[in-house]
Structure 1
Amino acid sequence: MKLTDQHIEQLYKFTRQHFVEHYDVQTELVDHLANDIEQIWMENPTLTFEQARDKSFKKFGIFGFMDVVEEKQKQLGKKYRTILWKHTKEWFRLPKIILTASVFLFFYYFIQIPIGTYVIGASLFLFAILDIYLVTKLKKDFNTRAKENNKKWMLEEMIFNVASFGGVMVASNLPQLFNYAKNIPSNLGALLISFLLTIAIIYSYVTLFVIPKKAEKLLEEHYPEYKLANN
């Protein structure tokens, strides 16, 4: 026996009922279930679709699909970190390293003069506000994309939500860095603070601007079916 289109749609619904919300993971599970159900039918053709489906599902163990979801999260987390590193290291190569050095020297110079703490404080305050605004915008963009396409892709959610987490993390730690910068004990301390602030800005820029802007291209490269599924 072969599965019909209606059976396939029921399998997608079955994965959603078991808390698998990302379309790419659903598709992987549906493909596995479909192949296994057809194999079960070859061995026992008297079983109904639901009986064969439940028999196949039991093979996933007491945690159901959760182990598969967690493994997929690990795989795509590694994929995202690779993307992040690829775009971050560009800021330490010509010509972008010139801008990186300029940002670093800006912080290093102003940390060491009395009025500098106020300049840095104002700069970081504006940076934090921009971060929070962009975090909010990214979340809104992601929700809009998911609603329009009626599908959520795990890598897509990482691109938008990891970026949001990064922005919040950087913004929330800026006051602590600023307070520490008020009493720099040495040039080494000034170098360290300047380096951390420069990295924070690069990290936020890459996660909040660069990677989300390339989302469509990244998703099409990773998911061969992405463009077709969203049409």
Structure 2
Amino acid sequence: MKLSNTQTQELYTFTQKHYVDWYDVQTELVDHLANGIEAQRAINPNISFQDALKAEFKKFGIMGFSNVVEEKTKALNKHYRLLVWGYFKSFFKLPRIILTLFLIWSYYSMMVFFNNIFWVLLISCIVLMIVPFIFIYRQGKYVKSIKKKTGKKWLFNSIIVQLGGLIHFLNIGIYISVILDLERRVLSTTALVAISSFIILFGLLLYISIFVVTPNLRQQMAKQHPDYKIA
């Protein structure tokens, strides 16, 4: 026996009362609970909706839905990072590798031309540090607009704001102390090339995360969840 719309809505309310705030996770849990309840009714048509729901919920153990949320978060983070890595690797194939090598050479030439590694690196780091903060600020406004339009929160949006967990590694500001130390050193050509490569590849990773993977994932999300709105 299929669940009624009222009973389906009760399942959404049930998941929310058990600390699942994310609508995309709620939807997966509702589908799972509904299938379980329907299976129980097929075996025992006299079982009440509430008794069947309690029996299904017990299957999640003492932690309830918290493990599901945790696993879903890990899975989405991993999916995001794999997509970023996939696009990132494509820059090491023709013709993009030519562009990548050209950017590294240009950055190296700029450091040599200005003959002041400290200021070139400092400005580069500031730029690469500001971009994620601007992204987080804009995504925060976007998430609020989605919540206002739909009345729903999406775990997917939370993953995007954190760039699949990469945001913790993309904070290049932690390398400022290294830059300050470089000011007192005379660097070889090899070292300058290595630094140039790091800065350019770091910038590419940031670009791919924000401007390539994030929009693609939003489109995928819109196809999977019609309630998800793209601004």
Q: TM-score, normalised by structure 2?
A: 0.81
* 8 A contact 2:3–2:34 mirrored in 1: yes
1:129 aligned partner = 130
30-39 vs 209-218, which moves further: 209-218
2:35 aligned partner = 35
Residues of 1 paired with 2:228 and 2:123: CA distance?
43
Higher RCO (C-alpha under 8 Å, 6+ residues apart):
2
SS of residue matched to 1:8: helix
* 8 A contact 2:126–2:173 mirrored in 1: no
- Seen in structure 2, the aligned counterparts of structure 1 residues 218 and 65 have a Cα distance that, compared at 3 Å, is same
Q: Give the aligned length.
A: 227
What does residue range 29-178 of structure 1 map to in structure 2 within 5 Å? Answer: 29-111=29-111, 114-162=115-163, 166=167, 169-178=170-179
What residue ranges of structure 2 are gaps of 5+ in the alignment?
Answer: none
Give the Å deviation of 1:106.
Answer: 3.4
151-160 vs 6-15, which moves further: 151-160
Give the Å deviation of 1:46.
Answer: 4.6
Letter in 2 for 1:129: I
Give the Å deviation of 1:62.
Answer: 0.6
* 8 A contact 2:73–2:159 mirrored in 1: no
Letter in 2 for 1:77: N
- Seen in structure 2, the aligned counterparts of structure 1 residues 180 and 230 have a Cα distance that, compared at 3 Å, is same
1-10 vs 206-215, which moves further: 206-215
- Seen in structure 2, the aligned counterparts of structure 1 residues 63 and 77 have a Cα distance that, compared at 3 Å, is same
2:213 aligned partner = 211
Residues of 1 paired with 2:228 and 2:56: CA distance?
29
What does residue range 171-210 of structure 1 map to in structure 2 within 5 Å? Answer: 171-182=172-183, 183=185, 185-210=187-212
1:229 aligned partner = 227
* 8 A contact 1:159–1:211 mirrored in 2: no
- Seen in structure 2, the aligned counterparts of structure 1 residues 88 and 148 have a Cα distance that, compared at 3 Å, is farther
127-136 vs 30-39, which moves further: 127-136
SS of residue matched to 1:209: helix
* C-alpha distance after superposition, 1:106-155 (max 9, x if no partner): 33334456423223323332343333223211222233234323334433
* 8 A contact 2:170–2:206 mirrored in 1: no
* C-alpha distance after superposition, 1:48-88 (max 9, x if no partner): 32222112101111111122222222332232122112222
Q: Which runs of 4+ in 1 moved over 6 A?
A: none
SS of residue matched to 1:214: helix
SS of residue matched to 1:105: helix
1:15 aligned partner = 15
What residue ranges of structure 1 are gaps of 5+ in the alignment?
Answer: none
Give the Å deviation of 1:43.
Answer: 4.4
- Seen in structure 2, the aligned counterparts of structure 1 residues 177 and 101 have a Cα distance that, compared at 3 Å, is farther
- Seen in structure 2, the aligned counterparts of structure 1 residues 193 and 92 have a Cα distance that, compared at 3 Å, is same
Residues of 2 paired with 1:77 and 1:127: CA distance?
22
Letter in 1 for 2:227: A
CA RMSD of aligned residues (A): 2.9
127-136 vs 54-63, which moves further: 127-136
Letter in 1 for 2:22: H
